[in-house]
Amino acid sequence: MTPTDPSTRFDPIRVGGRKGWDQHPGVRTGVRLRPGERAADRLFGVAGSWPFLIMITGVVVAGAVVALLPGRDAGTRALLVAGLSAVALVEVSLVLLGVRRAERIAVELALYHLDHARRAAAVAEDLREQIGQLHADIARIAAVAERAGHAPRRS
């Protein structure tokens, strides 16, 4: 497989609704999440969608129209305000759950990248040591060859 082969490229559209997070080794998804996190992801996925927004807008407009019909008393209007306040509180809670989950994802990614950066630094240091050892070996071989009467090759 080559890097330009379509089967090897990362395609976030093909991953079922998660935009590829389940393919990232540094982010917990699916069964690795706690039950509350899974529930929050599902709820945020539903409540954070356009169909839900359109539906809740329709409910609010219908409730306002019903409350403002002639013959309605102040008690009906107060119930409408209380219901709308409850919907607003639920929505704010959902947004906060989503933000909290996004923050956890960001922390997990940061720690994942930090771990890989540390590993890469350790590998680079090992390579530097090996290259230094190779330089010393080449210098030693060149010195032995020179003592044996062989002229070093120059390219």
- pLDDT tens digits for range 87-109: 887 777 777 777 877 888 888 88
Q: Counting beta carbons within 10 angstroms of the beta carbon of residue 18, is it exposed (0 to 12), middle (13 to 18) or buried (19 or more)?
A: middle
pTM of the model: 0.49
Separation between Cα atoms, residue 91 and residue 95, nearest integer Å: 6
> pLDDT (tens digit, 0 to 9) for every residue of the chain, 155 residues total?
344 444 444 343 333 344 566 667 777 777 888 888 888 777 777 776 677 777 877 887 887 777 777 777 877 777 777 888 888 877 777 777 778 778 888 888 888 888 899 999 999 999 999 999 999 999 999 999 888 886 666 65
Give start and end residues of each alpha helix (H) in the chain. Answer: 35-47, 50-68, 74-147
Report the pLDDT value the prediction gives residue 105, as an integer from 0 to 100: 82
